[in-house]
Structure 1
Amino acid sequence: MTTPTPGQPELPGALRSVALLGTGPMGAPIARNILKHGVPLTLWNRTPEKARAIDGGTFAASPADAARDIVLTVLPDLPQLEALLHGDDGLLHGWKAAGIEHPILVVHGTVSPVAVAQFADDCQRNWGVAVVDAPLSGGTIGAEEGRLSIMVGGALDAVERVKPVFELYSSTVMWFGETGAGSTVKACNQIVVAATVTALAEAMVLADTAGLDLEKVQAVLAGGLANSEVLAQKGRRWIDRDFKDGGSAKNQLKDLRFIAEVAGHSGLRLPLAACLQNSFENMVAAGDGDLDHTGIYRTIRS
């Protein structure tokens, strides 16, 4: 238990035992925001230097050492998370050794709604672990500024326990139902994001081919109905032709495949999502999968 600083209130129970696994482009700023609020945080990353680099955190040498009442994971997909559960270095062993009987495992990555619902059922039934799927929207800028939107699915009692943690790095936290519901909302979000990125890229290709000044074009778009958070955060990439880092095209494609999976599970046909998936498949096939998804500009132009 953390001793409060004299004159400061004692931390609520949910904030006394928190770990974060995955200190990449999204996980690191989330960790910094948690620590900024004076909350003790245990950190683990597959590349240890990335976890050690976050000032104020407690470094864990293994997932077992990072087993806390609430474990936040910011990982690309479920297989990477499942790999951290078992063995002497795994979370399950760590929770048992620490005497934590009802841990909460938060999935902040964008994962299959169908797969995470099954994963949550297995974790609860076999080990008493409550899984909360809580995908994020807002990008790395939103993470840095502590204004992420979190779409939440899971048992309501578990969600209420973890909500004070979420509020340290988000501006919106919304519960939608059982585990998998949050990831379904994220699928809806990603249709809009992928469509907006692709539409803006097409507009930039058209404008550039016509010899127009892209900064002026974007200023006009930003002043009307075509304005968007994507344009605000990413518009400069098309002007500078800088598509390095950021949210990768291969992750965008992964999300679009999850959308196709959940749509098929519901018997739906989503023609725009299918078209977007085809476009990003072409981008990845061309060797641009590690570029920011705004790099779809290159695929369109070619």
Structure 2
Amino acid sequence: MTIPNSNQHNSRGPLLSVALLGTGPMGAPIARNILAHQIPLTLWNRTPQKARAIAGATVAATPANAAREIVVTVLPDLPQVEALLHGEHGLLKGWKDARIHHPILIIHGTVSPVAVANFAKDCLQNWGVTVLDAPLSGGTIGAEEGRLSIMAGGPAEAFERVAPLFETYSTTAVWFGETGAGSTVKACNQIVVAATVTALAEAMALAAATGLDLEKVQRVLAGGLANSEVLTQKGKRWIDQDFHGGGSAKNQLKDLNFIAETAGHTGLKLPLATCLRSAFANMLAAGDGDLDHTGIYRTIRT
């Protein structure tokens, strides 16, 4: 793909001024990919040193100072995004001072589809802010390599406006409908991820309990129908028994809670998702919530 500079035009029009808030494990590589495509970028992070470590960007002291026409947030949940809006140092004040009347706020975190739809309605009605919920799939490796998948909800014209930006750090970006639709797709994605992680953890637990070589077992799984991106990216964790860092179990449970909430609104019963929710609740109860979700292996083996 050829990505336009911010001052160039393309079939969707010129790219607008861009800021990214949240330079954690996902936000930092996303920022580096945006900058690699010669798009000027303003960064803000609660811990400023993390933002300053990204070469080539402008670092803002407050969210207000980072208010741009497009603001990308890469934060864990919706409350963290809402907290950036108000007050003397908030985005709303920044947009007002900069005379940006119709900004686009992109939410890349995994959030409640119900809550983000209500949030988007309030933002548009009260402040003229268009919200796109655009959760990500692909993990930190996908972010580093610029091959994330983005599932988006919100006004179609806003999605078209930011699509060139998405192309700098994703290989797939699909619009699904109104705000909340992207998060519903992410809920579908997370059922599969949580199930695959847990299934592989059970397989590794069974292999270990019977004295098998986990590396050899994984080699066989990878050669057949049991292969998956989870096995490719995370298989070594079970071999090394290293579950630190990565996508946390507490975030996996958060996602499963959103899945239960969304299913409840439709009257749908999801037996597998319900079992997975219980399994990860047990993992958190055991004190392992900060471990990578592959650490469910420890709960299974207990």
Q: Normalising by structure 2, what TM-score?
A: 0.96
Other structure's SS at 1:172 match: strand
Contact kept, 8 Å, 2:6 with 2:40, in 1: the verdict is no
CA RMSD of superposed structures (Å) = 1.2
> Deviations along 1:62-90, whole A, 9 cap, x unmatched?
00000000000000101111000001100
The equivalent of 1:106 in structure 2 is 106
Aligned residue number for residue 232 of structure 1: 232
Specify the alignment match of 2:143 in structure 1: 143
The answer to whether the 8 A contact 1:14-1:164 is kept is no
Assess, with a 3 A threshold, how the Cα gap between structure 1 residues 296 and 15 changes in structure 2: closer, same or farther.
Answer: same
Counterpart in the other structure of 1:249: 249
Alignment partner, residue 47 of structure 1: 47
What letter matches 1:275 in structure 2?
C
Give the whole-Å Cα distance in 2 for the aligned partners of 1:80 and 1:154. 20
Identify the residue that residue 26 of structure 2 maps to in structure 1.
Answer: 26
- Could you tell me which residue of structure 2 aligns to residue 11 of structure 1? 8
CA distance in 2, matches of 1:232, 1:273: 23
Which residue in the other structure is 2:176 paired with? 176
Equivalent pair of 1:44/1:61 in contact (CA under 8 Å):
yes
Equivalent-residue separation in structure 2 for 1:122 and 1:11 (angstroms): 33
- Counterpart for residue 215 of structure 1: 215
* Partner SS for 1:288: coil
Q: Is the 8 A contact 2:15 2:161 kept in 1?
A: no
Deviating beyond 6 angstroms after TM superposition, the runs of 4 or more aligned structure 1 residues are none
Q: Alpha-carbon deviation of 1:10?
A: 4.0
CA distance in 1 between counterparts of 2:62 and 2:254 reads 27
Q: Deviations over 1:13-70 (max 9, x none)?
A: 6534000000000000000000001110000001111111101110000000000000
Report Cα offsets for 1:153-209 as digits up to 9, x if no partner: 000111111111111000000000000000000000000000000000000000001
Q: What is the percent sequence identity of the aligned residues?
A: 78
How far residue 130 of structure 1 moved from its aligned partner, in angstroms, is 0.2
Distance in 2 of aligned mates of 1:10 and 1:288: 47
Aligned: 1:66 with 2:66: yes
Partner Cα distance (2:53, 2:7) in 1? 27
Count of residue pairs brought into register by the alignment: 296
Q: 1:163 corresponds to which residue?
A: 163
Distance in 1, matches of 2:15 and 2:222, equals 40
Higher mean alpha-carbon deviation, 10-19 vs 231-240, is at 10-19
Q: Partner of 2:272 in structure 1?
A: 272
2:132 and 2:117 mapped to 1: Cα distance? 10
- Residue identity opposite 1:300 in structure 2: I
Unaligned runs of 5+ in 2: none
Deviation per residue, 1:211-260 (Å, 9 max, x gap):
00100000000000000000000000000000000000000000000000
Structure 2 CA distance for partners of 1:126 and 1:246, relative to 1, 3 Å? same
Equivalent pair of 1:253/1:280 in contact (CA under 8 Å): yes
User: Separation in 2 of the partners of 1:10 and 1:116?
Assistant: 31
Structure 1 SS opposite 2:287: helix
